[in-house]
Amino acid sequence: MKLRSVACIAAFCASATATLADPCVTDTFDSPLDGATDVTAYVSDVPSAQFPAFWQEGTLEGYRYRMFASAEATLRPSIAGQDWVISITCNVSAQVCSFANQGTPPADAAAVSNVIGQCLLGVEAEKNVPTAPPQVTAELDQTPVAEQSVQVPDPATCGSASVTEATDVATMQRLLVMAGEDPGPVDGFLGPKSFAAMEVFVQGANWGTPIPDVIAALDASLCDTPN
C-alpha cells in the first residue's frame, strides 16, 4: 500500500479560499461535486461515528467516488476488471489530507483524488454526531497459522453458519474479516471501510446492496461452494 499526504499550502489556499469558505458539496452533501455526473446524495436517520449522517457518490472524470461527512472518501475505477482504490482521509482542522493507494491507480486518478480532498477540507465537521454504542467484538482466533490444521471447508460449519453475530450487517463484517478484508469494527454499522471491503465481493456495493447477497458471496468464497 502506498501512502501520500497533501497539505493546504499557501499558494494553493490563496486560490481555493472561496471554495473552502463555501463547501463545494454543502454541509449536507446535497450539492453535486463540481464536474461530477450520476450524483446521489444520502442522509442517515441515525448517524454515528461509523455511519455519517451525510454522504454523496457519483462519477468524476470517469472514476467513481464516495464522499462522507466524516471527511473521508474513496475513489475507484468505473471500468470492470480494474482493481485499485484510493482512500482519502482529511483533517479539516489541520487542513491536510492523506491518501492511501491500494493497487496501482492511473496517474490522472491521483489528480481527481486531490480535487475530492480539497472539497472535503471545505466541509465543516458534523456537529452533535452521536457517539457509537459500546462495541462488543468476539476475539479473533490468534492461533499461529503453522499450528492450524488444514481441512476441507464443511458448508454446514463454515462461513455464516459458524458466526454468531446478532445482525446481518455484523455477520457480514465478521465474514469479511474471516476473508482477509478490513471492514472496520464488527459493530453492525456500515461505513467507508465496510463498503470498500464489500466491493471485493459485490461490485458497486453501496447502501442499497442487499446484505444477504454479500453474505452469500462470502459463504461461497469461504466455504468453496457455488454462489
**pLDDT at residue 147 is higher than 90:** no
50-73: average pLDDT = 85
The residue extents of the domains of the chain are 2-121, 145-223
Check residue 123 and give its pLDDT: 56
pLDDT of res. 98: 93
Beta-bridge partner residues of 43: 54
Q: Is 49 or 187 the better-scoring residue by pLDDT?
A: 187
pLDDT digits (tens, 9 = 90+) for 2-45: 444 333 333 333 333 333 334 578 878 888 888 899 898 888 76
Cα end-to-end distance, the chain, whole Å: 30
- The dihedral region occupied by 32, where left means phi > 0, alpha psi between -120 and 50, and beta the remainder, is beta
What pLDDT sits at residue 133? 42
Dihedral pair phi/psi, residue 53, rounded to 5°: -65, -40
Q: What is the pLDDT of residues 66-91, one digit of tens each?
A: 888 888 899 999 887 788 999 999 88
User: What DSSP character marks residue 52?
Assistant: -
**What's residue 190's pLDDT?**
87
Q: How high is the pLDDT of residue 127? A: 33
Q: Could you tell me which residues come within 8 angstroms of residue 24 by beta carbon, excluding any fewer than 6 positions away?
A: 31, 33, 34, 118, 119, 122, 123
Please, which residues have CB within 8 angstroms of residue 148's CB and are 6 or more apart in sequence?
none
- Mean pLDDT confidence for 99-120: 90
pLDDT at 52: 67
Residue carrying the nine cell digits 492511501? 100
For the beta sheet containing 37-43, the strands, ordered from the edge strand earlier in sequence to the opposite edge, are: 2-7, 96-102, 85-91, 72-77, 63-68, 54-60, 37-43
Higher local confidence (pLDDT), 48 or 61? 61
pLDDT on residue 78: 84
What mean pLDDT is reported for the chain?
74
pLDDT band, very low/low/confident/very high, at 65 (cuts 50, 70, 90) = very high
Separation CA 172–CA 183 (nearest Å) = 9
**What is the pLDDT, as a whole number, of residue 85?**
92
How distant is the alpha carbon of residue 15 from its chain centre? 30
